[in-house]
Structure 1
Amino acid sequence: MANALIALGGNVGDVRATFQRAIPEICRRAQATLTARSSDYITPPWGEEQQPAFVNACIAIETATAPHALLAILHDVERMSGRDRAQETRWGPRTLDLDLIAYDDLILDTPELTLPHPRLFERGFVLVPLAEIVPERRISGRRVDEALRAVSRDGIRPLPSVQ
């Protein structure tokens, strides 16, 4: 079994409800066990800044599904949640964005998938929830909690638990 880290984000519709549906669907399709789930965080938009704030979170799963197959599952779950990658603006509004952040210690660079995620260490909106669930995890030789110290946390705040 591999340990995979997945970042979730969105800013269209009821994003937290979308997360509530998407996480079990990812686990079902990937025959995975959810081992950790961060809090949800409200975060400022990144890239294209003229859009509503995002909600972001991270999960850790144990799965035997290979990385490319897992990525395909993530894209299917995005589509199921109303995302159409072909019709959207890069870094623009979306119902659900699922990024495979890391898969064990695998280093991979293919046209479809780069692991670890190439912009992980630039993104407070990923590192904050990731540090909540796996602070001591090393990715590319860097501890998540240490990497978080090098990025801005401005505008990132936890949301109250969903009951």
Structure 2
Amino acid sequence: MEETNLVYIALGSNKGDRMKYLQDALNLVFQNVGRIAQIARVYSTPAMGFAPETNADDFLNTCISVETTHSANEVLSSLQDIEIKLDRQPKMTTGYESRTIDLDILFYNNVVISTDTLVIPHPQLQERKFVLQPLADIASQLIHPLRKSSIGDLLKHCKDESAIEPISIWLKNPNKTYNFSSYNYIAIEGNIGAGKTSLAHKIANDFNAKLILERFADNAFLPKFYEEPKRYAFTLEMSFLADRYQQISDDLSQLDLFKDFMVSDYDIFKSLIFSKITLPEDEFKLYRKLFYLMYKDIAKPDLYIYLYQNTTRLQENIKKRGRDYEQHIEDTYLESINAGYLNFLKNQTELNVKIIDISNRDFVSNRKDYLWILGEINSTIV
């Protein structure tokens, strides 16, 4: 999984429908940069540094924290694009000018950056109460990496005496557009290399879910199976079944009071799907009897998501993740797995199934594709 970075961003507007510009900017940051973790109150502050004859309106200011996989420069580029999209005009004079939206990076993790285009931490933040007050609302204990003081202390000793008043309207977190409260347990399934683990990680992180991951990497028979499939097929499938049964029984029985629901990157029914492909008929019949003895005692997911990827994309993903024992998987094997899943889902009556075709999507690298998938999942909620 890509590293998640925490970035603090200041937002300001003193032109046009100021609250709408702040909300629109928040929505676009969510769409293009990352998950909005926290939103401060909105404060009204007088326009500072403007010539008296300009009659500039007061600013509305706030701060947000955002979890992102983008670099600091990528975040900067996205914020500049958002400003342009929200009617921010290029400066026509050397002084201060009213603006529909102003977006500034205050902190990016705890790094220090100083280039011609980007300085982090923001060099003036300790001098501006309209930045420090909303920032303190959400990160009062955050330590400035250069000044070695907390945001709360910087606010306490700030010499800016300008008026700052909280307003009674709050911005809405766009993350709440996607609602998983209808589900206690979501299982994400797919072929080898479909991206089910990556999607489970993202959903667990963004929506406070308990993450249940298949422990396939610990199975000593898997590399042997890829080398000699006929010899190790039954042993592999039995070991998978035992491990999946044990793990999912344990994980689903352990209530986590601090999580809202559970999301897994597999469902135990995959054992039956794979075994039908890998085992000869007589061994499969025995395996199926054993499977259903266990299956009747396993909790079923409230939502079963199947990520469909075409074979070309699957092979690209398999090559990219670089597991040695997967590098010689044949197209026909992947196609038979897809067919097995789709045949199972077509005849499935017990599960709430959502099939999502992601063959032309890259939700790991492209946030818009990820949000599209969330929209597809939410479209099943009644």
2:140 corresponds to 1:135: yes
Tell me what 1:25 maps to. 28
Deviation at 1:46, TM superposition (A): 2.0
Residue type matched to 1:23 in 2? Answer: L
User: Does the residue aligned with 2:82 lie in a helix, a strand or coil?
Assistant: helix
Q: CA separation in 2, counterparts of 1:71 and 1:85?
A: 16
Q: CA deviation at 1:92?
A: 1.7
Aligned-partner residue type, residue 161 of structure 1:
I
Alignment of 1:80-159 (within 5 A): 80-87=85-92, 90-140=95-145, 141-151=148-158, 152-159=160-167
Task: Report the identity percentage.
Answer: 30
Greater alpha carbon shift after TM alignment, 128-137 vs 44-53: 44-53
1:160 matched to which residue of 2? 168
- 1:106/1:90 Cα in 2 relative to 1: closer, same or farther (>3 Å)? farther
Q: Which residue of 1 aligns with 2:7?
A: 4
Q: 1:80 to 1:46 in 2, by over 3 A?
A: same
How far does residue 21 in structure 1 lie from its aligned partner after superposition? 1.1
Aligned residues: 162
2:37 alignment partner, one of 31, 35, 51 = 35
Q: Secondary structure at the match of 1:111?
A: coil
Contact persistence 2:41–2:170 (CA under 8 A): no
Change (3 A) 1:75 1:126: same
Amino acid at match of 1:34: I
- Say which structure is richer in strand: 1
Amino acid at match of 2:6: N
For 1:16, the aligned partner's letter is M
Q: Which residue of 2 aligns with 1:73?
A: 78
Tell me, what secondary structure is at the counterpart of 2:24? Answer: helix
State whether residues 91 and 97 of structure 2, in contact with CA within 8 Å, keep that contact through their aligned partners in structure 1.
no
Q: Looking at CA atoms only, which structure, 1 or 2, has the larger radius of gyration?
A: 2
TM-score w.r.t. the length of structure 1 is 0.93
In 2: Cα distance, 1:106 partner to 1:59 partner: 18
Amino acid across the alignment from 2:157? A
The secondary structure found in structure 1 opposite 2:29 is: helix
Structure 2 contact 132–154 (Cα < 8 Å) conserved: yes
Cα RMSD for the two superposed structures: 1.5
Aligned to 1:44: 46
1:27 deviation in Å?
1.6
**Could you tell me how far apart the structure 1 residues matched to 2:162 and 2:38 are?**
25
Deviation string, structure 1 residues 47-78 (Cα, Å, up to 9, x no partner) = 22532211100000010110011001101111
| 1:137 maps to amino acid | L
How high is the TM-score relative to the length of structure 2? 0.41
Judge conservation of contact 2:144–2:151 (CA < 8 Å) in 1.
Answer: yes
Give per-residue Cα distances to partners, 1:8-45, cap 9 Å, x unaligned: 00100111111111112112111x11110011100011
Query: Where does residue 69 of structure 2 map in the other structure?
Result: 64
Q: Which has more helix, going by share of residues? A: 2
- Read off the aligned partner of 2:59 and give its amino acid letter: F
Q: Which has the higher contact order (CA 8 A, sep 6+)?
A: 1
Distance, in Å, in 2 between the alignment partners of 1:60 and 1:162 is: 15
Please, which moves more after superposition, 143-152 or 48-57? 48-57
Q: How far apart, in 1, do the equivalents of 2:70 and 2:92 lie?
A: 28
Aligned to 1:136, what secondary structure does the other structure show?
Answer: coil
Range that drifts further, 123-132 or 42-51 = 42-51
Matches of 1:81 and 1:17, distance apart in 2? 10
